[in-house]
Each structure stands twice: as structure tokens, then as C-alpha cells.
Amino acid sequence: MKTIDQLLADGVAGKRVFVRADLNVPLDGTTITDDGRIRAVQPTIAKLAEAGARVVVASHLGRPKGAPDPAFSLAPAAARLGELLGTHVEFATDTVGESATATVAALQDGQVAVLENLRFNPGETSKDDAERGVFADRLASLADVYVGDGFGAVHRKHASVFDLPARLPHAAGFLIDTEVGVLKKLTEDVSRPYVVVLGGAKVSDKLGVIDHLLEKADRILIGGGMAYTFLKAQGHEVGISLLQEDQVPAVLEYLERAEAKGVEFVLPVDVLVASEFPDLKTKAPANPAVVAADAIPADQEGLDIGPETRKLYASKLADAATVFWNGPMGVFEHPDYAEGTKAVAQALVDSPAFSVVGGGDSAAAVRILGFDEKAFGHISTGGGASLEYLEGKTLPGLAALED
């Protein structure tokens, strides 16, 4: 895989460099609530601009239905990128239409432009190779060189991620180079003890990575909504907690495999429960109760790990040499259910382990809860991409960057 350093050594001055970034940031209206992904790609864009490239940045945002939708415009992301770069960033109001063509044509050496949301064009996400190819051809006409740096999208076989690199000389940006290097530390010659912390809503989202990590990890800690399927598999009442009943057989199999392999599986010993889901807009007090994990009332919902589980998980992380964490321990967006996620983050900060926060809600939680990002070994920009890499899958966007 050619790196951006090699690309820069070859010279990019005067060339139109297409950077596939991941500017898929959370928005409250037009206000960005977490700019982590923009800051992550900024070094690549800045270095190309400094080298005299005419930088064309493209990304998706959200899940529009293949047509323009103002709610998913990249305009706020373009403005924030300009603030971070300390320069004006042009913005094209379409992806491959008149605005994009004119905007790119007007770029001077060292200038940067952002195209409108790639997913406003159905060709970006089409499952039809020919349709994706037509869109990739149109994108290729806007550039001379391709730089892949949208790690959060490399597990997608989309036109700008998979098809476009085949049409242009290509290289991996600083972010992708860093992300892949970090993930190799979690899969090749891992320092032990290796502890994995998995949370989030659905156990089905994590089955593949659990299956793979049973061959790699020494200890797996489970929290979040997915924990209740594990508790159910052990025969416990979980009340009205989030439950994937159809996944109970698979979970039971993993618990048995873990025991046979000597992998320590750690589940909550107590949880915070309430009779209804909290209001995340008003953040009104929820008044949760703490109950044992094997004694959840039938009319209650588990929404966070309890105080004893926080202590338990911190102790299980204290001696780790390597930690991978993906998924919050509870409904961290509400202050009454944030302590479990906060406790795991603090345990990683306190640990000498090389810690990787696996993107998605975990990365957002770290920032929202006020932790210094530099206190962690690495905070990934791609939750789904990180998980699929750890599952051992071939990621289309990485395969496309290989020579």
C-alpha cells in the first residue's frame, strides 16, 4: 500500500488530489456536536495543500436516499474544516454536476474544496457494479490522484471507496496508515494480557468480532444493551431490557467456547434499572435503582452497569497490556446512566496498557464525557471498520489501495 509520504515525495504540486475523507459528523440541525472525524483527516489535507496540491475532499454524511437532502449537507463540515485549516475552503453544492466541475476547475495550487454529500448520488452506494462504475468515472474526471483517508468507510464497497482508486494513481492518507498500524497491534504479536471491552446495543453487531477474538483475547468484558442477551443465556430474568432472543443460542455457544479455551468472560454483576427509557433531550432525572444482574425485576429495564460492576471491570483492566474497547456500557447520553461508560474510560486512562477506543459511540462518549483524547493509545474514527478488521474480513477500501 503506497503511503502519502511516498506520494508527496513524488510531488503533487499542481495536481488535483481527490481525498476520500470521513466527514460523517453528528449534527444538531446545522451545528456539529463532535468534530473528531474532521480533525482526524485534517493533517492529510493540510499536508497536501502545503505541497501545492489542488485538494478535492469528498465524503458521505448520514444515510440520504440517493438524492439531495438539506438535512445531510456537508456544508457545516466544510466550514469547520476551513476553521481547522485556517483558510477558506470552497464548497461545491453537488458531487459531479456543474458546481463540482466549476469549483474544482477554479482551484489554485494549495487550495481546498469540499464536494457535497456523495450519497446524494445513487451511484455511490449502488450494489450494481456498472452503476457504481459510472459514478466513479465521473468522480475520476475531477482528479489526477486519489488519496484514501476515510477509515470509517473502508468496510463499504462504495464507488468513492472501492471503484475510484482503480481509476487513479492512489495512496493511503495519514489517518488510514495510522489506523491500520494500530489494528495490527491488536491482531499481530499482541502484548498480553489482552483485554477486550464490548458494549453497545445489539449483540448481533458484535458476534463476528467475539468469534474471532475468542482466539486472540485473554479476557472479554461485556456491557451495554448487549449484556442482557448474555444474562438471558445464563438463565437470568432481564425484565424489559434490550434483548435479542434469537441470539441466545449463539451467545451460549460463545460462553462455552470461552470456558473451554480459558478466555475469561466477564458479565455485569449489578445494573441500573428503571421502568422506562430516559428522556435524552431534556436529560430529566431518571432516578434509577441498582439491582443484582441476576435479579432484574420483570417490569424494569437495564440501562447501565452498576457500581460493583464498575469496580470489577476496573480491576479486570488494571493489569492489561493491550485493551480494545468498542461500545458504551449504558445510555451514556443521559447523566444518570453515564457512570459505567465513564468508569471504563477512566480505567483505561489509569492503565499503562496500550488502549484503543474503537470508534463510533465509544469515541463520541470519550469526548462528550470530557476525557483528554491523548490519554488513550488511539481513538479510532471507524467503529464498523475496526470491528470488521478484527473479524479478519477483507475491507474493500483497504484492498483497493493495495498496489
403, three cell numbers: 498496489
Q: What is the pLDDT along the chain (403 residues), one digit of tens a residue?
A: 999 999 999 999 999 999 999 999 999 899 998 898 999 999 999 999 999 999 999 999 999 989 999 999 999 999 999 999 999 999 999 999 999 999 999 999 999 999 999 999 999 999 999 999 999 999 999 999 999 999 999 999 999 999 999 999 999 999 999 999 999 989 888 999 999 999 998 888 888 899 999 989 999 999 999 999 999 999 999 999 999 999 999 999 999 999 999 999 999 999 999 999 999 889 999 889 999 999 999 999 999 999 999 999 999 999 999 999 999 999 999 999 999 999 999 999 999 999 999 877 888 899 889 999 889 999 998 888 998 998 889 999 999 999 7
How far apart CA 317 and CA 301 sit, in angstroms, is: 27
How far apart CA 229 and CA 249 sit, in angstroms, is: 10
User: Could you give the 3-state DSSP secondary structure of residue 56?
Assistant: strand
Bridge pairing between strands 378-379 and 289-292? unpaired
**DSSP structural state of residue 50:** H
119 among annotated binding-site residues: yes
Bridge pairing between strands 145-148 and 194-198? unpaired
* Cα angle 108, 38, 6; round to 5: 60
Which of 121, 148, 25 has the alpha carbon at shortest distance from 81? 25
Residue with cell 454524511: 61
How far apart CA 99 and CA 108 sit, in angstroms, is: 16
How far apart CA 262 and CA 219 sit, in angstroms, is: 9
Q: What is the pLDDT of residue 92?
A: 98
What element of type H or E holds 219?
strand 219-222
Q: What is the pLDDT of residue 361?
A: 83
- Catalytic member of 37, 54, 132, 138: 37
Q: Which domains, ranges and CATH numbers included, belong to the chain? A: 4-174 (3.40.50.1260), 182-391 (3.40.50.1260)
- Catalytic member of 199, 383, 384, 397: 384
- Catalytic member of 225, 239, 360, 383: 360
- Residue 243 CB partners (closer than 8 Å, separation 6+): 228, 229, 232
37 among annotated binding-site residues: yes
Q: Is 37 a catalytic residue?
A: yes
Q: Is 393 a catalytic residue?
A: no
Residue with cell 429495564: 301
Q: Is 384 a catalytic residue?
A: yes
- Residue 101 CB partners (closer than 8 Å, separation 6+): 142
206 among annotated binding-site residues: yes
Q: What is the pLDDT of residue 364?
A: 85
302 among annotated binding-site residues: yes
252 among annotated binding-site residues: no
Distance set, CA 128 to CA 28, 132, 397 (Å):
33, 6, 17
360 among annotated binding-site residues: yes
Please classify residue 36 by burial: count the beta carbons closer than 10 Å to its beta carbon, then call 0-12 exposed, 13-18 middle and 19+ buried.
middle
60 among annotated binding-site residues: yes
- Catalytic member of 2, 39, 167, 202: 202
Q: What is the pLDDT of residue 316?
A: 97
How far does the chain reach from its first CA to its final CA, in angstroms?
A: 6
54 among annotated binding-site residues: no
Q: Is 202 a catalytic residue?
A: yes
3-state secondary structure string, 269-338? CEEEEECCCCCCCCCCCCCCEEEECCCCCCCCEEEEECHHHHHHHHHHHHCCCEEEEECCCCCCCCHHHC
